[in-house]
Amino acid sequence: MSEFPPAATSPRRSRPAAPGKDAFKRRLAEMLRVDHAGELGAVHIYRGQRAVFGAARGGAHMDARLADMEAHEAAHLAAFDRLLTERQVRPTLLAPLWRVAGFALGAGTALLGEKAAHACTEAVETVIEAHYASQVEELKDREPELARAVSGYRDDELAHRDEAAAAGAREAPGYALLSAAIKAGCRAAIALSEKV
């Protein structure tokens, strides 16, 4: 009598995963990773802007406005922090880069002036809200609760974008170039953070 039955008859052999289940799990990990990275970058953009306006004479009103936005981003970041832990998804390896790049983008645009800082917010939030909108579509059937949460964050980003536009983002010197460059940078950061 054989001690080891052939593998094919073993009751412990697991059934193959439902088609597409693993692929969706991998895709979900990418989505959570990139969202976490984006919110980390966003927190640091506003911190960079606040570092400049907080220290500038007459910058108190900008600092207060930016503090509000930073608080929203910090809440988004905390939510994605929790989700990464719950879903056992590793954060992007590029997190240290996004901290530095975000802060530099925020501080750099703030040094160009209030309108440039608003142009930065408008450009970043335009890319992020579109990114969240497409995720909501992708998630709504299989992860409805997460889709609702992402949709709520998207509403916050839309409010940031509209506030920046109303404050004169498009009057920034070199607006078209500045805005296009920031949007391109954000899209590249999104593509990288999904995978790396």
Residues that bind Fe ion (CB under 5 A): 39, 42, 73, 76, 157, 160
Residue 14 has what DSSP assignment?
A: P
Judged by beta carbon, residue 36 or residue 76, the one nearer Fe ion is 76
Judged by beta carbon, residue 65 or residue 76, the one nearer Fe ion is 76
Judged by beta carbon, residue 24 or residue 74, the one nearer Fe ion is 74
Backbone angles phi, psi at 8, to 5 degrees: -65, -25
Instruction: Output the smallest distance, CB 7 to Fe ion, in A.
Output: 49
Instruction: Output the smallest distance, CB 173 to Fe ion, in A.
Output: 23
- The pair of structure tokens assigned to 7 is 């593998």
- Separation of alpha carbons 66 and 47, rounded Å: 8
Instruction: Output the smallest distance, CB 40 to Fe ion, in A.
Output: 10
Residue type, 179: S
Where does residue 166 rank: exposed (0-12), middle (13-18), buried (19+ CB within 10 A)?
exposed
Instruction: Output the smallest distance, CB 125 to Fe ion, in A.
Output: 5
- Give the residue nearest to Fe ion (CB): 76
Are 89 and 193 contacting, i.e. CB atoms less than 8 angstroms apart? Answer: no
Judged by beta carbon, residue 17 or residue 64, the one nearer Fe ion is 64
